[in-house]
Amino acid sequence: MKILYGVPGEGMGHATRSKVVITHLLDSGHDVHVVASDRAYTFLKQSFPDRVSEIKGFHFAYKNAEVSKAGTFWLNLKAAPKNLILNIAKQLQIEKNFTPELVISDFESFTYFFAKLHKLPLISIDNMQVMNRCVLDIPIAKEEKNNYQLAKQIVKAKVPGCDHYLISSFFDAKISKKNTQLVQPIIRQAILDTQVSEKDHILVYQTSSSLKNLQETLSKLPNEKFLVYGMNKDQEEGNVCFKTFSEDGFIKDFSEAKAVIANGGFSFISEAVYLKKPIYSFPIANQFEQYMNAAYIEKLGYGRHFDKLNSDSIKAFLYELPLFKKQLSNYHQKGNEVLFLELDTLLQLHK
């Protein structure tokens, strides 16, 4: 089957999990063409050089390590005319060179509109739709309720009316809409292949290099060793070791950590749950999806949800490590088998 697959460039989680699904589709004999934007395009082009085309997509604007709603609006409004022209040109090119029979969108709009224009079967695979197509059973703080409603409306409007929705999630939620299935998170092969152990360090994964006072905060716990990724530097200062990213080094440190500290990004948290690593989660402000992930981590007993990163909170988190490890021991996932089975079944329906 000829499949058009869309991947957004905002955040690398979409790209890393899409690589897993695309590899499965190719191994199953399907002919796949991928469209992606920004960093996702660069990443996927390396793995599938003859199958990836670049499009222009949506981006968040950040200020002081928070999502700026106004900045995001103006950033995307300014780029919209040029991006529209480029995407129309890309659509015409695809129509000329590739004739898809089915479309898969990982929360990506170009492929959604392509499917609707050409009346093609459309499958959504992402984690975001849980906000729109399921009932959340977590307490939502008063100051987060507006962010929740905004996020829910954005998710609802992004890819409405798909034939099927596969929602990857590390937590259970009651499905409230038809044509919807929950599957376990998509785990990249390198994580599936790693040997899990426990050493004495704590892995800190911080995608916002603008986070202030990180070194000062971590140095207040001199008896703990922190390995920090995401700050774009190689430097050791006392008990804190900053590392530039390498996949092999990161996965090794991840698999050997006694605990992890991160924001609320879905892919990293899902991998931490799979590896059974207790999680200190402090979500990026004004990004409800991260708030939701952190809240479920606390609800399930896999770690703690904090508003900010500070030394007292880290101490409280570390004190409860035995409890978190016990809860994580009850989580079970056999690779990506559930997702692959559900996807293969849906593809058979549209043959």
Q: What is the pLDDT of residues 109-119, one digit of tens each?
A: 888 888 888 89
> Is pLDDT larger for residue 81 or for residue 231?
231
pLDDT tens digits for 6-16?
Answer: 998 766 788 99
Residue 239 φ/ψ, nearest 5 degrees: -90, 5
What is the share, in percent, of the chain residues with pLDDT greater than 70? 86
**Average pLDDT of the chain?**
87
Q: Quick one: average pLDDT of 16-24?
A: 96
pLDDT tens digits for 259-313?
Answer: 999 999 999 999 999 999 999 999 988 889 999 999 999 999 999 999 999 999 9
Q: What is the pLDDT of residue 61?
A: 33
| DSSP classification of residue 275 | T
pLDDT tens digits for 328-340?
Answer: 999 999 999 999 9
The domain segmentation of the chain, as residue ranges, is 2-186+336-349, 190-328
pTM of the predicted structure, to 2 decimals = 0.87
Q: What CATH number labels 190-328?
A: 3.40.50.2000
Q: What is the pLDDT of residue 320?
A: 98
Q: Is the pLDDT of residue 69 over 70?
A: no
Q: Would you place residue 90 in the very low, low, confident or very high pLDDT band (cuts 50, 70, 90)?
A: low
Query: For residue 33, with 0-12 CB atoms within 10 Å meaning exposed, 13-18 middle and 19 or more buried, which class applies?
Result: buried
What is the share, in percent, of the chain residues with pLDDT greater than 90? 69
Q: What is the pLDDT of residue 211?
A: 66
Q: Do domains 2-186+336-349 and 190-328 have the same CATH topology?
A: yes
Q: Is the pLDDT of residue 53 over 70?
A: yes
d(CA 280, CA 302) in angstroms, rounded, equals 9
d(CA 258, CA 312) in angstroms, rounded, equals 18
Q: What is the pLDDT of residue 55?
A: 79
Q: Tell me the CA distances in angstroms from 203 to 28, 226, 240, 253, 274, one per residue in order.
A: 36, 6, 10, 7, 15
Q: Between vectors from CA 185 to CA 154 and to CA 271, what angle results, nearest 5°?
A: 110
Fold of 2-186+336-349: Rossmann fold (3.40.50)
Which of 172-186, 196-210, 284-298 comes out lowest in average pLDDT?
196-210
Q: What is the pLDDT of residue 262?
A: 96
Q: Would you place residue 74 in the very low, low, confident or very high pLDDT band (cuts 50, 70, 90)?
A: very low
Highest mean pLDDT among 52-66, 178-192, 194-208: 178-192
